[in-house]
């Protein structure tokens, strides 16, 4: 039996703001991208493009499109010729000596776009491939937000869907390693919250900040009491919550209610039973539906 694998997904929001835009307009946009694939050069010599785009259902394009983002690295333009003892910093060695059909360090990321939800779900990490979410977002912006496409479809906005950190999300986590809670007196409407014991404590003690930190023991996770759960709910409205959580890959993540981070959805699967191609088809609609 194979060991379970983990694949991470990110979600990108694509909005067309012209009056009269319909679901069919989003289908037109992706049909346009399908007909005119472009390779986009980005920082650190990265190149990205849609390797292919195809309808999920040829008879009903409103169902959406599946495809693959292809990432490769251009070879450096900074070369040194040992025989001639000279540096060729600007000579296009790649163009002169390497066939254009060969790409360095290839990475492949499956995606699905849903016109009804205006969202694209894309793989960003698996055991063999990884891409920074910021790089994926820049690629989609440069690919889609062009004068030509905006003349046809109106103003276009492309943005990564952020993670929403709510009190319920923190409380329901089973792998909390640390919570640091800070409530600032100046941020609170004391008239409205004067009955809350945190406010009472701050007033009685004449303090500007109320701080509590809880750290789990080694190899353990926090078991939140009802009192701490109530404190988390209060701090989510009136303060900042910083916490550490162990993810499905066994890695520790730092999170904060004061920061905006991209939403990452981690899905584990058995490669002997499920192909990664079918996994995204099974999970993508569920992901965007939960966001909406």
Query: 158-209 pLDDT, tens per residue?
Result: 999 999 999 999 999 999 999 999 988 755 555 555 447 787 788 788 888 8
Quick check: 64 and 113 in contact, CB under 8 A?
A: yes
Q: Is residue 82 part of a domain?
A: no
Cross-strand pairs, 262: 162
Within-domain flag for 215 = yes
Query: Among residues of the chain, what percentage have pLDDT more than 90?
Result: 66
Mark whether 190 and 285 lie in a shared domain.
no
Same-domain pairing of 245 and 136: no
> Are 66 and 112 a contacting pair, CB within 8 Å?
yes
Averaged pLDDT, 272-292 = 91
Residue 204 confidence (pLDDT): 81
Q: Are residues 67 and 109 in the same domain?
A: yes
Same domain, 28 and 128: yes
What is the tally of structural domains in the chain? 2
**Confidence (pLDDT) at 170:** 95
pLDDT of residue 287: 96
- Do 206 and 225 sit in the same domain of this protein? yes
Residues 125 and 219 in one domain: no
Q: Please state, rounded to an integer, the average pLDDT across all residues of the chain.
A: 89
**Starting from the edge strand earliest in sequence, which strands make up the sheet with 239-246, in order?**
209-215, 176-184, 239-246, 252-256
Q: Taking residues 99-128, what's their average pLDDT?
A: 91
79 occurs within a structural domain: no
pLDDT reading at 12 higher than 50: yes
Q: Is residue 39 situated within a structural domain?
A: yes
Q: Is residue 9 part of a domain?
A: yes
Confidence of residue 95 (pLDDT cuts 50, 70, 90): low
Instruction: Assess whether 155 and 52 both reside in one domain.
Output: yes
Examine the domain organization and report whether 10 and 155 are in the same domain.
yes
pLDDT of residue 24: 97
pLDDT of residue 103: 79
109 secondary structure, DSSP code:
E
More confident residue, 14 or 73: 14
Q: Are 118 and 206 members of one domain?
A: no
Instruction: Give the position of tokens 């292919």.
Output: 52
Q: What is the rounded CA–CA span in Å between residue 287 and residue 121?
A: 8
- Closest to 49 (Cα-Cα) out of 134, 143, 120: 143
| Cβ pair 262, 163 in contact under 8 A | yes
pLDDT at 43: 87
User: Which pTM value belongs to this model?
Assistant: 0.84
Q: With respect to residue 184, please indicate whether it lies within any of the assigned structural domains.
A: yes
The two three-digit tokens of residue 176, written as one number: 């909390």
Do 148 and 206 share a domain, yes or no? no
In the predicted structure, residue 138 carries a pLDDT above the cut 50: yes
Cβ atoms of residues 159 and 260 within 8 Å: no
Higher pLDDT, residue 53 or 36: 53
Pick from 89-93, 225-229, 231-235, 269-273: least confident: 89-93
Whether 109 shows a pLDDT value over 90: the answer reads yes
- Cα separation, 157 vs 82, in Å, equals 49
- What is the mean predicted confidence (pLDDT) over 109-118? 97
Distance CA 290, CA 292 (A): 5
Task: Answer yes or no: do 252 and 192 share one domain.
Answer: yes
Region 1-26: mean pLDDT is 92
Three-state DSSP state, 125: strand
Q: Which helix or strand (DSSP H or E) is residue 105 part of? A: strand 104-114
Asked whether the predicted pLDDT for residue 80 surpasses 80, the reply is no
Same domain flag for 121 and 204? no
89 occurs within a structural domain: no
For residue 240, what are the CA distances in angstroms to 122, 212, 225, 237?
A: 30, 11, 19, 8
More confident residue, 45 or 187: 45
pLDDT at residue 194 in the model: 47
CB-count burial class (<10 Å; 0-12, 13-18, 19+) for 291: middle
The b-or-e profile of 229-265 (16+ CB within 10 A means b, else e) is ebbbebbbebbbbbbbbbeeeeeeeebebeeeebeeb
Domain around 246: 167-258
């Amino acid at each position: 039996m194979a060991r379970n694998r983990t694949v991470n997904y990110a979600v990108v929001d694509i909005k067309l703001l012209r009056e009269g835009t319909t679901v069919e307009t989003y289908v037109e946009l992706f049909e346009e991208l399908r007909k005119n694939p472009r390779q986009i050069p980005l920082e650190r010599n990265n190149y990205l493009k849609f390797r292919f785009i195809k309808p999920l259902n040829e008879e009903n394009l409103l169902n959406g499109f599946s495809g693959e983002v292809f990432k490769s690295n251009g070879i450096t333009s900074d070369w040194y010729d040992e025989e001639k003892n000279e540096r060729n910093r600007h000579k296009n060695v790649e163009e002169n000596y390497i066939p254009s059909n060969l790409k360095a360090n290839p990475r492949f990321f499956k995606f699905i776009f849903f016109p009804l939800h205006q969202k694209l779900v894309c793989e960003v990490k698996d055991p063999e491939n990884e891409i920074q979410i910021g790089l994926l977002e820049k690629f989609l912006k440069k690919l889609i937000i062009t004068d030509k496409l905006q003349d046809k479809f109106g103003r276009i906005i492309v943005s990564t869907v952020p993670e929403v950190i709510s009190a319920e999300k923190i409380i329901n986590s089973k792998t909390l390693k640390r919570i640091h809670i800070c409530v600032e007196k100046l941020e609170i409407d004391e008239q409205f919250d004067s009955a809350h014991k945190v406010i009472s404590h701050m007033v009685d003690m004449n303090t500007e900040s109320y701080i509590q930190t809880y750290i789990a023991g080694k190899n353990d996770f926090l078991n939140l009491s009802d009192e701490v759960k109530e404190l988390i709910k209060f701090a989510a409205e009136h303060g900042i919550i910083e916490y550490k959580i162990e993810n499905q890959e066994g890695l520790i993540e730092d999170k904060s209610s004061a920061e905006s981070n991209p939403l990452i959805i981690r899905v584990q699967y058995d490669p002997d039973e499920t192909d990664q191609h079918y996994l995204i088809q099974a999970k993508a609609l569920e992901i965007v539906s939960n966001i909406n």
